[in-house]
Amino acid sequence: MLSIVVYLNLLLTRILKAIKITSLSYLIYLGYFKYICVLRRKFKFNFYSDKRGLSMDNYAIISAGSKQYTVSAGDTIRIESTDKEKGEEITFKPLMLKNSDGLLIKKQALQNISVTGTVVRNGRAKKIIVFKMKRRKDERKKRGHRQNFTEVRITAIS
């Protein structure tokens, strides 16, 4: 039974990579929902995967600059600009944590846990062109915008 599950897992991941699909919702959109349900019921197939298409065993959800990020140790993320310099350490409080013990969501359980990272660099993103126009009114506005960011490499979840 286990070999069938492993074989189906490999087969499905190869199919998804071949047709460049990383999300289950797109497969459902394409009409494969009934086949997916049969696989899940019959073989207890787990479709949970992260944004890169790999299963994540140890990860945390952190909040930085009014946005939330899913991170694991070794990841590099771009957050909104902070006053930290290159090489400095930055600490985040996790909103949720999944590790080998299970899923931790409550504030009392997450009280002693922190996610640490080091600042890799401060920079500016690519320029975005904002173009506004009202037709037949000879009104055009063209503006450029570059967002500041801080790139952080997550070193540990402890």
CA proximity to 150, closest of 88, 84, 62: 84
Structure tokens at 85: 């310099």
| pLDDT value of residue 16 | 64
In single-letter form, the type of residue at position 123 comes to: G
| pLDDT value of residue 109 | 85
| pLDDT value of residue 54 | 42
- Under the banding of pLDDT at 50, 70 and 90, the label for residue 115 is very high
Rounded Cα distance, 13 and 16, in Å: 5
Query: Mean pLDDT score of the chain, rounded to an integer?
Result: 79
Q: Is the pLDDT of residue 4 over 70?
A: no
Alpha helices by DSSP H, listed for 24-141, are: 24-30, 33-43
| pLDDT value of residue 92 | 96
Q: Is the pLDDT of residue 68 over 90?
A: yes
| Percentage of the chain lying above the pLDDT 70 cut | 64
Q: Let me know: does 47 contact 24? Beta carbons within 8 Å.
A: yes
Structure tokens at 27: 């497969």
Give, for 4, the enclosing helix (H) or strand (E).
helix 2-18
Tens-digit pLDDT profile for residues 6-47: 666 666 666 666 665 555 555 554 555 555 555 555 444 444
